[in-house]
Structure 1
Amino acid sequence: MYRIGELARVAGVSRDTLRFYEREGLLRPEGRSEGGYRLYEAEAVRRLRFIKQAQALGLTLEEIRAVLEVMHEGRPPCADVRRVLRQKVALLEQRIAELTALHDALASRLEWAEAHPDPACDGKDHCVYLDSTLA
C-alpha cells in the first residue's frame, strides 16, 4: 500500500494532482491509515500511468473517465478508445487545415511587406501590412 506522498513520488505527479483525480473520480484510495492518510494499492500506479499516457495523446479527463468507467464495468475499452481516437484525429486534421491556411496568409502578407519595406503609411488606425485593401 502506498500513502499519498509515496504514490505521488512513484507516479511522478503531485499530491494535489492525486487529490484532484480523486475528486474527478479518476482515482480512489483503498482506504485510510490509522493516521488518516489515504492508502492506495499498487494498481493505482498503473492507473496513473494510463491517465498520463492518455493525456499525452490529447484525451481530456472526461474522456479518460469514460474509458475508466468502461474498464471498471469489466468491458474492454478498445471500441470506445478507437472512437475517441478517430474524433481526435479528425479534430487535429481540421485544426491543421486551419493552421495551414493561417500560415499561408501570414507568409503571403510577410512576403508583400518585405517587398515594400517603406510603404506610404500615415500610421492612423491602420497599417498597410495588415490592411488587405491596401496590399
Structure 2
Amino acid sequence: MLISEFARATDLSVDTIRFYITKGLLKPERSVKGGSNPYQVFRKEDVNAARMIRLQQTLGYSLGEILALNEEYRAGEHSPERTIEVLQSQIARLEERRAALDTALSFLRGKVNWIKAGKPEGAPRLEDYQC
C-alpha cells in the first residue's frame, strides 16, 4: 500500500509517517515506480509496527528508546529476561511519573478549592507540594 492508504490504515498523518521513516522507525520497501523518487510501499507488517510505535509512545517510551528496542527485537537480541528488564524499568518510570502527577493534581485541586472558598488566607503554595 502507498503512504496515503497506510496513513488511513494506521490513523497517522503522512507527516508523522515520513518522520518515522526519517528516524528509522518504519522501513517501507521502495517501488520501481516513481522514477528518481520511488514510491514507498508499506506492508501489513508495517501497519503492525506503526501501531506498536504508538503503543510504546503511550507507554512513555521516547522515539530513541523505541528505535533501540525495535532494533534489538529485529536482531533477535530480545530474550524474555531482557523483555522483563525493559518492562520493569518502564513500570518504575511510569510509577514515578504517576506520583508526580498525583502531587500536581493535589495542588491544582487545593487551588480550585481555595478559589471556591473565596480566596481566604493561606493560599496553596507550590512549595508545599513535592513534584
TM-score by length of 1: 0.68
**Cα pair distance change 1:77/1:51, threshold 3 Å:** farther
More helix by share: 2
- 2:65 is equivalent to residue 63 of structure 1: yes
CA contact (8 A) 1:21 1:27 kept: yes
| CA displacement at 1:116 relative to structure 2 | 7.2
Question: Where does residue 93 of structure 1 map in the other structure?
Answer: 95
| CA displacement at 1:101 relative to structure 2 | 4.4
**Cα pair distance change 1:49/1:77, threshold 3 Å:** farther
Question: Where does residue 32 of structure 1 map in the other structure?
Answer: 31
- Sequence identity percentage: 33
TM-score by length of 2: 0.70
Residue identity opposite 1:43 in structure 2 = E
| CA displacement at 1:99 relative to structure 2 | 4.1
Of the two, which has the highest radius of gyration?
1
Aligned residues: 122
| CA displacement at 1:91 relative to structure 2 | 2.4
Question: Where does residue 47 of structure 1 map in the other structure?
Answer: 49
| CA displacement at 1:104 relative to structure 2 | 6.3
Question: Where does residue 123 of structure 1 map in the other structure?
Answer: none
Q: Say which of 55, 72, 75 aligns to 1:73.
A: 75
List gaps (5 residues or longer) in structure 2. Answer: 126-131
Question: Where does residue 129 of structure 1 map in the other structure?
Answer: 123
In the TM superposition, what whole-angstrom CA distance separates every residue of 1:43-94 from its partner, at most 9, and x where no partner exists? 2111112112222222221121111101221233544443332222222323
* Superposition RMSD in Å: 3.3
**Cα pair distance change 1:116/1:77, threshold 3 Å:** same
Residue identity opposite 1:129 in structure 2 = A
**Cα pair distance change 1:8/1:99, threshold 3 Å:** closer
List gaps (5 residues or longer) in structure 1. Answer: 120-127
Question: Where does residue 125 of structure 1 map in the other structure?
Answer: none
Q: Distance in 2 between matches of 1:116 and 1:3?
A: 58
